[in-house]
């Protein structure tokens, strides 16, 4: 049986945990994750781990920040005036929103603070700055 090659379509069951053991995502009870290996469709560390597997293999891999969602970037935390929100919206900490930039790109943000007339938004990926551990099972290749 051969290893995964770049360009192979793969199906992978996974269980993702933070370093404290907290589960952040899992394919349990769902179809396996399908993607094309080596094409950058998943984080680098996940892709690299799958490339070393054969069908039926089960491994556990810890992916460092740099090969996961990268470090947190303080420049992606910004204050935004409450007056700029729609009149019918009541901003609350933890609320997930979509924002757009001047180039028409849309990206998710989370409200992380509210003080006086300013709302603090965080556009970092929720898993940025975290090492991630995955239990992987390569279900199929092709």
- Nearest partner of 69 among 23, 123, 130, judged by Cα: 130
Burial track 104-124 (b if 16+ CB lie within 10 A, e otherwise): eeeeebbbeeeeeeebbbbbb
Q: Would you give per-residue pLDDT tens digits along the chain (142 residues)?
A: 688 999 999 999 999 999 999 999 999 999 999 999 999 999 999 999 999 899 999 999 999 999 999 999 999 999 999 999 999 999 999 999 998 888 988 889 999 999 989 999 999 999 999 999 999 999 999 8
pTM score of the predicted model: 0.82
- Taken in order of first residue, the domains within the chain and their CATH numbers are 9-70+127-141 (3.10.50.40), 74-122 (2.40.10.330)
Handedness of CA 43, 46, 51, 54 (dihedral sign): negative
């Amino acid at each position: 049986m051969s290893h995964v090659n770049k360009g192979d379509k793969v199906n992978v069951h996974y269980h993702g945990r933070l370093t404290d053991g907290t589960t952040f995502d899992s394919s349990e009870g769902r179809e396996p994750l399908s993607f094309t290996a080596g094409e950058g469709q998943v984080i680098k560390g996940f892709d690299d781990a799958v490339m070393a597997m054969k069908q039926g293999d089960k491994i556990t891999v810890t992916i460092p920040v740099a090969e996961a969602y990268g470090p947190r970037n303080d420049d992606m935390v910004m204050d935004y005036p409450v007056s700029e929100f729609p009149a019918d919206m009541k901003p609350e900490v933890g609320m997930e929103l979509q924002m757009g930039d001047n180039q028409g790109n849309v990206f998710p943000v989370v409200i992380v603070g509210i003080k006086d007339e300013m709302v603090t938004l965080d556009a970092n990926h929720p898993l940025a700055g975290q090492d991630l551990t995955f239990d992987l099972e390569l279900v199929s290749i092709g």
